[in-house]
Structure 1
Amino acid sequence: MCARTRTAEEGQGRGRGLGQGLRERHKAERRGRILDAARELLRAEPDSVLGTERIAERAQVAPATVYNLIGPRDKIWEALAAGFTDELERRLTLLGTGDPRDVVASTVQLFVDDPVVSRRMVREWEQSGLVLDRSPLTQLRRALADARERGVLRADADTDALASVVGTACVGALHQWVAGRIDDERFLARVLLALDVALAAAAADPHRDRLLTPLRSRGSA
């Protein structure tokens, strides 16, 4: 192959790559507009039916675009949940902390910052129990493992199991909050209580009194 032909083909390849990249950016932009439109509709009319045509009109796209980029209605809730976990990961990354309490407190704060959307998402999405699986559990496992490495938790502590127990408690508290059984403050208190119990149970001897202090100073949440 001559140099001129090879150069031309390389140029065409770069052009195709740029074109594909631009198309992907346009798709991501339209997808973002669609999800923003869904959130805006929910905030304006919390109990309304979230139909494809209403979302499309609000996002200024065709109904077929909503279906192609997101899917049917049940996929809209799934996409909103994915957006929620993306935002949580972004916040935790910016926070840059290895403190397990910061991880769970940031999680609760994200829910209560947008209560209408959060509650509808959890109520409507059939797999809402998975909303905390990707995040914050990844960060919580990492923070607990770091605490074990620093000697705060016992060397034999199963930090993955601890994170799973705390995550289960978080999901339970989340559903109580969604149902209106507990308010924002009690939501946070119950999540932190579950974490404090897990930390105290796995505490290394030099840190046991410190990790027991929150439990001793707090009544039942």
Structure 2
Amino acid sequence: MRPVEGGLRERHKAQRRHRILDATRELLRESPESVISAERIARRAGVAPATVYNLIGPRDKIWEALAADFMAALERRLAAPGTVDPRRDAREVVKSTVRLFVGDPLVSRRMVREWEAGGLAFHHSPLTRLSRAMADARTRGLLRADVDTDALATVVATSCLGALHQWVAALIDDDRFLARCLFALDVAFAAAAAAPCRDSFLTPLRTRDPV
């Protein structure tokens, strides 16, 4: 019976942790700039403050836990296998990431600001998926054989991070956030395109607002 009891205990811990994170997000949606304390979260989640400390930790760990939960949700969105069109796969990575941020803007903006203030970093990243799609594009002859696809993906991710910071600061709206990220991706594909694909990759850029 011990393994069953242990498994049940872990499930209950996971459920309480889920309630705590949900309660945190609810409080942020109601008052995005408010101080988020363990006591407020505990009251909303229906648990003791000690439970918040035991399962999550102090306030800086709350932001870390939200970030980890965010990245887990993104991993689930990106879990689908790739298609025969790696360029489309790369665009889906960008779209899924942006849509997750803009889907809960009050929480996302505060979470990103707290990451920056606390020096936190993503434990996982869509960069891995983006690199994989670009490597596949090189293998299929869409990109030049001499292209370092990891470096190319990093350049795109850096551009997208800049767009994210602009969105967090409310300097651009949701649509412009997505457009800038996709533009960075399309520029990278055009710059690294194999000769047979160069014109088709360049054509959309010639007629598009560089946002």
1:31 matched residue in structure 2: 17
2:73 matched residue in structure 1: 87
For 1:107 and 1:143, locate their aligned partners in 2 and report how far apart those are by CA, in whole Å.
15
5 Å-filtered alignment, 1:30-179, equals 30-94=16-80, 97=83, 98=86, 99-125=89-115, 126-127=118-119, 130-131=121-122, 134-179=124-169
Matched letter for residue 156 of structure 1: D
For residue 94 of structure 1, report the CA deviation from its aligned partner: 4.2
SS at match of 2:79: helix
For 2:125 and 2:74, locate their aligned partners in 1 and report how far apart those are by CA, in whole Å.
7
For residue 95 of structure 1, report the CA deviation from its aligned partner: 7.6
For 1:148 and 1:219, locate their aligned partners in 2 and report how far apart those are by CA, in whole Å.
27
Larger radius of gyration: 1
For 1:95 and 1:180, locate their aligned partners in 2 and report how far apart those are by CA, in whole Å.
34
Matched letter for residue 213 of structure 1: T
1:30-51: CA deviation from partner (whole Å, max 9, x where unpaired): 1111000000111111121111
**TM-score scaled by structure 2?**
0.92
For 1:22 and 1:141, locate their aligned partners in 2 and report how far apart those are by CA, in whole Å.
39
* Residues 146 and 96 (structure 1), Cα distance of their counterparts in 2 relative to 1, 3 Å cut: closer
SS at match of 1:93: coil
* Residues 134 and 64 (structure 1), Cα distance of their counterparts in 2 relative to 1, 3 Å cut: same
Matched letter for residue 188 of structure 1: L
1:144-186: CA deviation from partner (whole Å, max 9, x where unpaired): 1111111111112111111111111111110110001111111
Matched letter for residue 80 of structure 1: L
For 2:26 and 2:135, locate their aligned partners in 1 and report how far apart those are by CA, in whole Å.
39
What percent of counterpart residues are identical? 70
For 2:126 and 2:6, locate their aligned partners in 1 and report how far apart those are by CA, in whole Å.
33
For 1:18 and 1:40, locate their aligned partners in 2 and report how far apart those are by CA, in whole Å.
33
For residue 220 of structure 1, report the CA deviation from its aligned partner: 2.1
Which of residues 182, 185, 194 is equivalent to 1:204? Answer: 194
2:6 matched residue in structure 1: 20
Unmatched 5+ stretches in structure 2: none
For 2:36 and 2:82, locate their aligned partners in 1 and report how far apart those are by CA, in whole Å.
36
1:4-55: CA deviation from partner (whole Å, max 9, x where unpaired): xxxxxxxxxxx32222221111111111110000001111111211111010
Deviating 4+ runs (over 3 angstroms): 94-98
1:84-114: CA deviation from partner (whole Å, max 9, x where unpaired): 1111111122485541111101111111110
* Residues 95 and 120 (structure 1), Cα distance of their counterparts in 2 relative to 1, 3 Å cut: farther
1:189 matched residue in structure 2: 179
Unmatched 5+ stretches in structure 1: 1-14
